[in-house]
Each structure stands twice: as structure tokens, then as C-alpha cells.
């Protein structure tokens, strides 16, 4: 197969473009199935700014028309939720026009278009606390949102990301994967991710403040890649939620990382989104249900977030750049 990865320098794009054919990815997929690892020899073509701007119809249609891929993985996007609130045109360009361009290219070439969505599609104002009887609050233990639940995006980011899903689903062959929170190796070009930011903060500050009023489901980019590969193999189409069926606040993730990596003389404290000064309406609860994904024949078993974080740390150490 020929795969193009758009946004190849971001967290997910980097994982997909660097590790698509990595034997460790094949072993992970095989381990869950209890079978032999099947090596893949796909041709993976990374595309990113500045040479490839997905917002340019001419560049997208010409480049992808020449390549004639079997799959277009659109890992591009802008995840700066607060910043996008005051830059809606950028959000519409990157999450709207760019996806329309990729849809046109997919239609011309017959490629499968893969788009990523987020748990922000379902806005919930705050988490319920023991003391409160607040009608706008959701229990931290509430069941995750399913693919059938009606989206209720609030921020510019969430609204435009939902629009990107809608556009992608108009392609003749498409797959939309939603998840809550992604971590993994980043390049200098990525806008970063929770774990990456925590590492950077823990490395330079004695005391860090991390949100304690958000419920998320962190996933490692390599696990998303494994899930994607198994869904493509199974011929899946439409929308799927990906989760490791485990949830945490960002503070709990920070505390685990802190203990796991043995950072000394550091303090991690909880802070609310309001105290933090978050301006955009970011959802307090982006937990999803992966029941639909779980029944896809041969689908990769996504680990819980602690196992995923352990695996990521081991993976990075094996590269000796951690």
C-alpha cells in the first residue's frame, strides 16, 4: 500500500510516518491477537508545511494526484484551543478547507481518507464535586460518549474539528477516529501535548500546577497508529472512538509521571481551569466509549493510560534520547 501522512511533523504524524513499518508496531498488533507479527512494507510518504500546505487546493490535488496513494492519513491540525478562539479563520482553514482539499484528492485517486476528531466534540462545562448539586456538571464516573451521542461542541476548535469530520465523511471512503488526549514523541514543529509539556515543565521548574478539574483519557500516538492499522486492515469505515478504557485528571497523569520517572525536588499541585486562566470553553469531560471499536475483528487492544505511559517511557529510553 501507498500511504501519505499529512501533518507528518506533529505528534501523530511523526508516529505514523516514522513507525508505520516498524517491527515493534507489528509485534504489538500481533501480541493482542495472539498470533505472529506480520511485517508491513508499505510506502509511507510524509507531507508537511512548508512544502505541503493542505490549505492550498492546487498543492493538495496536484501532489496527491501524482502520488496516487491508497490511504491519506490527515494528521494535520492546530490544537491550540485558546489561541484558535481568537483566530477562527485559521481554524476554518486548517480544519475546514484543508479537509475539503483532501476529500477532493481522495475522490480523484480513490484513496481512503482518515481524519482525526476529538472528545471536545462533546462539551461539558464542569465536573461534579461531592458537595455540588450542579445541573451543568457531569460526574467524573459518567459513561463515555458513544459514536451515536449528539455532539455539542462549544469552542472554535471543537466546532471546526467536528466540521472536519463531517467533510471527511463525504469522501467515498473515509474513517474518522476520535480520541480524548494524545501524547507521544514530538518534533520541534508540533504544538506539543500533555505529557510532552509535563516533561518540559518538570525539567525546568521546581513546582508545576496541573489541571485537576478535567477528566481525560490519554492515548499514546503509537497505540493510535496500531489501532489505525488494524482498522484499515479490517476495512472499517465511518466514526470510531478510541480509548484505553481508563480515565484520569491531568494532575493524576502528572503525579504518575513524577513518580515513574523519579523527578526529585519537584512539586506537582492541582489547579482549576479557571485559576489557570483558560479562556476558551474547553470541555471538562472528554471521556469516550470504545465499545464499537472493541468489536472490530482483529482490532488492536488499546492499553490503559498508565500502561501506555510506561510503554512510551520504555520506548523513548530504548532510543536513548530521553
Ligand X SMILES: NC(=O)c1ccc[n+]([C@@H]2O[C@H](COP(=O)([O-])OP(=O)(O)OC[C@H]3O[C@@H](n4cnc5c(N)ncnc54)[C@H](OP(=O)(O)O)[C@@H]3O)[C@@H](O)[C@H]2O)c1
Bridge partners (DSSP) of residue 265 are: none
Among 16, 17, 28, 52, binds ligand X (CB under 6 A): 52
Q: Which of residues 66-95 bind ligand X (CB under 6 A)?
A: 75-79, 94
Q: Which residue is nearest to ligand X (CB)?
A: 10
Stretch that binds ligand X, among 103-111, 124-132, 175-183, 202-210 (CB under 6 A): 175-183
Please list the alpha-helical segments (H only) found in the chain: 11-19, 23-33, 57-67, 81-85, 88-92, 98-109, 156-168, 194-204, 221-233, 250-260, 273-276, 291-294, 305-318
SS3 content of the chain, % helix, strand, coil (to 5): 40, 20, 40
Classify residue 314 by burial, with Cβ atoms within 10 Å: 0-12, 13-18, 19+.
exposed
3-state DSSP assignment of residue 117: strand
Stretch that binds ligand X, among 28-36, 184-192, 241-249, 304-312 (CB under 6 A): 184-192
Should residue 241 be labelled a site residue for ligand X when binding is judged by CB under 6 A?
A: no
- For residues 105 to 144, the per-residue mask of contacts with ligand X, x marking binding by CB under 6 A and - elsewhere, is -----------x-x--------------------------
Among 4, 29, 53, 299, binds ligand X (CB under 6 A): 53
Nearer to ligand X, 60 or 268 (CB): 60
The total of other beta-carbon atoms located within 10 Å of residue 56's CB is: 14
Which of 247, 231, 193 has the alpha carbon at shortest distance from 13?
A: 193
3-state DSSP assignment of residue 214: coil
Stretch that binds ligand X, among 2-10, 35-43, 104-112, 234-242 (CB under 6 A): 2-10
Q: How far is the CB of 107 from ligand X (least distance, A)?
A: 19
Q: Rule CB under 6 A: which residues touch ligand X?
A: 6-7, 9-13, 48-49, 52-55, 75-79, 94, 98, 116, 118, 161, 179, 181-182, 189-191, 193
Amino acid at each position: 500500500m501507498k500511504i501519505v501522512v499529512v501533518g507528518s511533523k506533529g505528534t501523530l504524524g511523526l508516529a505514523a510516518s516514522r513507525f508505520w513499518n516498524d517491527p515493534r508496531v507489528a509485534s504489538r498488533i500481533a501480541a493482542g491477537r495472539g498470533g505472529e507479527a506480520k511485517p508491513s512494507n508499505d510506502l509511507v510518504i510524509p507531507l508537511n508545511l512548508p512544502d505541503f500546505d493542505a490549505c492550498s487546493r492546487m498543492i493538495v490535488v496536484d501532489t496527491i494526484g501524482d502520488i496516487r496513494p491508497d490511504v491519506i492519513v490527515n494528521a494535520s491540525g492546530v490544537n491550540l484551543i485558546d489561541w484558535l478562539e481568537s483566530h477562527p479563520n485559521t481554524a476554518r482553514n486548517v480544519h475546514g478547507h484543508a479537509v475539503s482539499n483532501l476529500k477532493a484528492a481522495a475522490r480523484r485517486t480513490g484513496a481512503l481518507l482518515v481524519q482525526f476528531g476529538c472528545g471536545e466534540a462533546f462539551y461539558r462545562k464542569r465536573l461534579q464535586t461531592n458537595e455540588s448539586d450542579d445541573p451543568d456538571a457531569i460526574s467524573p464516573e459518567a459513561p463515555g460518549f458513544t459514536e451515536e451521542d449528539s455532539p455539542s461542541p462549544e469552542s472554535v476548535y471543537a466546532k471546526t474539528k467536528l466540521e472536519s469530520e463531517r467533510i471527511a465523511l463525504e469522501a467515498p471512503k473515509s474513517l474518522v477516529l476520535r480520541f480524548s488526549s494524545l501524547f507521544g514523541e514530538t518534533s520541534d514543529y508540533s504544538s506539543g501535548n500533555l505529557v510532552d509539556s509535563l516533561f518540559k515543565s518538570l525539567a525546568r521548574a521546581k513546582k508545576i500546577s496541573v489541571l485537576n478539574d478535567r477528566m481525560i483519557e490519554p492515548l499514546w500516538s503509537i497505540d493510535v497508529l496500531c489501532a489505525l492499522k488494524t482498522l484499515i486492515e479490517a476495512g472499517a469505515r465511518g466514526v470510531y472512538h478510541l480509548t484505553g478504557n481508563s480515565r484520569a485528571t491531568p494532575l493524576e497523569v502528572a503525579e504518575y509521571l513524577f513518580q515513574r520517572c523519579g523527578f526529585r525536588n519537584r512539586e506537582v499541585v492541582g489547579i482549576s481551569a479557571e485559576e489557570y486562566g483558560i479562556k476558551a470553553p474547553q470541555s471538562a469531560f472528554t471521556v469516550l466509549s470504545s465499545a464499537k471499536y472493541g468489536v472490530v475483528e482483529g482490532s488492536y487492544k488499546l492499553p490503559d493510560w498508565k500502561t501506555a505511559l510506561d510503554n512510551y517511557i520504555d520506548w523513548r529510553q530504548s532510543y536513548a534520547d530521553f
